[in-house]
Amino acid sequence: MKKQEKKSGRVVPLRLNILFLCVFLLFSGIIIQLGKVQIFDGETYKNEVEKRENATVGLSVPRGKIFDREGNPVVDNKSLRTITYTKVKGVKQEEILKSARQLADIIEMPQEDIDKLTETDKKDFWMQLNPELTQDLVSKKEIDKFRDKDITGKELDKKIEDLKRKRVTEKNLQELTAKDIEVLAIKSKMTSGFQMAPQIIKKDVSEQEYAVISENLANLPGVDASVDWERIYVNDGLFRSVLGNVSNADEGLPRERLDYYLVRDYSRNDRVGKSYIEQQYEDVLHGTKKEVRSIADKQGNTIRTETVSEGKSGKNLTLTIDMELQKKSRGEHRKNIKTI
């Protein structure tokens, strides 16, 4: 009997020792892992957090003007009150929709932007507004049929989404109100741009629209009220073919020279010279962007913005031509044609 008690007494400490050893090894593993994260990966995670909390955005500055040899303007810039939206990493569709609705209560979108909306745009928007009804558009049996064909993952999601979209009817689209369509036009602008690149929502806004949005920027994450520019060619068509053209924000960088501009710190939606003088002197006329940093909290909400650098307008360019002389020459040429 005593032998059994002694044997049992030895087993208990042995089990405790094994348990303590397991706990020790477990905690040792955790400490080693924490040390690895802090020492080896700490800088990486720190940089990632800083990227999310402190996002720097480059803002467009006025392009340099072009003058003739007498100092008369040939190409100028017109200032426009503009509303922009900058999409940051991790922003949710629900947050974008909320901001679009807030903007729709303040600004009126141009008819041309509304006319650009496609039937697919409207169907996708109806589906976003009606998630429960959208879910019922495709049955579980139909989804299982796709799976039986070994369709999985993203391909399966796309098949289901396409089928849902196909089953949204004209009657469903008629449920969208005029306000819904305006919200969609704004949302389409907000989602069409590149991350960390300001996307123009509306330019040449009224003083009232500009003032109201400026007062409510704290409640409109990613939205900004700024002054943009539009290229003006002063003398109508005179010398126009030589001056060239500048791309608009929708066109952005020309595809054939994309890499050339990207390595020079251009953004994809930057406006650049497309031809002749505007293109040839791009480096002179472009200028240096204004840089603004958005400081966000842990939840990604913008707390404040601060200017990193003021930027600098593009340099002006003086041509050797005399525009007044060109005008007189054109006038004489037209007279001669009429007399023939």
Residue 37 shares a structural domain with residue 59: no
Residue 99 CB partners (closer than 8 Å, separation 6+): 85, 190, 220, 221, 222, 223
In a domain, 237, yes or no: yes
The predicted pLDDT at position 33 comes to 74
CA 161 – CA 137 distance, rounded (Å): 10
Residues 293 and 329 placed together within one structural domain of the fold:
yes
Q: Are residues 292 and 251 in the same domain?
A: yes
Looking at the domain assignment, is residue 87 inside a domain?
yes
Write down the pLDDT at residue 152.
Answer: 82
| Tokens encoding 316 | 């002006």
Q: Is residue 34 part of a domain?
A: yes
Residue 190 covered by a domain: yes
Based on the domain organization, do 233 and 310 belong to the same domain? yes
CA angle 110, 180, 94 (to 5 degrees): 110
Co-location of 319 and 215 in the same domain: yes
Instruction: Note whether residue 141 is domain-resident.
Output: yes
Please tell me the least confidently modeled range out of 59-68, 152-161, 192-201, 203-212. 192-201
- CA quadruple 151, 154, 159, 160: dihedral, nearest 10: 110
Does pLDDT of 332 surpass 90?
Answer: no
Same-domain status, 16 and 76: no
Does the pLDDT value for residue 47 go beyond 60?
no
Residue 193 or 115, more confident: 115
**CATH at 308:** 3.90.1310.10
Clarify whether residues 39 and 61 are in a common domain. Answer: no
Domain count for the chain, please give it: 2
Are residues 7 and 74 part of one domain? no
Instruction: Tell me, yes or no, whether 61 and 205 share the same domain.
Output: yes
DSSP per-residue letters across 149-200? TT--HHHHHHHHHHHHHHT--HHHHTTS-HHHHHHHHHHHHHHHS-TTS-EE
Q: Does residue 49 fall inside a structural domain?
A: no
CA gap 193, 75 in Å, rounded = 28
Q: Same domain for 65 and 194?
A: yes
Q: Are residues 84 and 23 in the same domain?
A: no
- 43 Cβ contact list (under 8 Å, min separation 6): none
Torsion (CA) 156, 158, 160, 166 in degrees, nearest 10: -150
Is the per-residue pLDDT at 2 higher than 50?
A: no
Distance from C-alpha of 98 to C-alpha of 69, rounded to nearest angstrom:
52
Contacts by 248-257, CB closer than 8 A, 24 or more apart: 249/199, 249/200
Residue at 286 is within a domain: yes
Higher pLDDT, 188 or 327: 188
Q: Report the pLDDT value the prediction gives residue 35, as an integer from 0 to 100.
A: 67
- pLDDT for res 235: 86
Write down the pLDDT at residue 4. 52
Integer angstrom CA distances of residue 204 from 30, 47, 109, 152, 221: 58, 38, 11, 47, 21
Full residue range of the structural domain in which residue 228 is found: 54-339
Q: CA 158 → CA 31, 56, 142, 171, distances in Å? A: 44, 34, 14, 24
Helix (H) or strand (E) holding 138: none
For residues 212 and 159, state if they share a domain.
Answer: yes
∠ CA 43-44-49, nearest 5°, is: 95
For the chain, what is the mean pLDDT?
85
Beta-carbon count within 10 A of 93 CB: 10
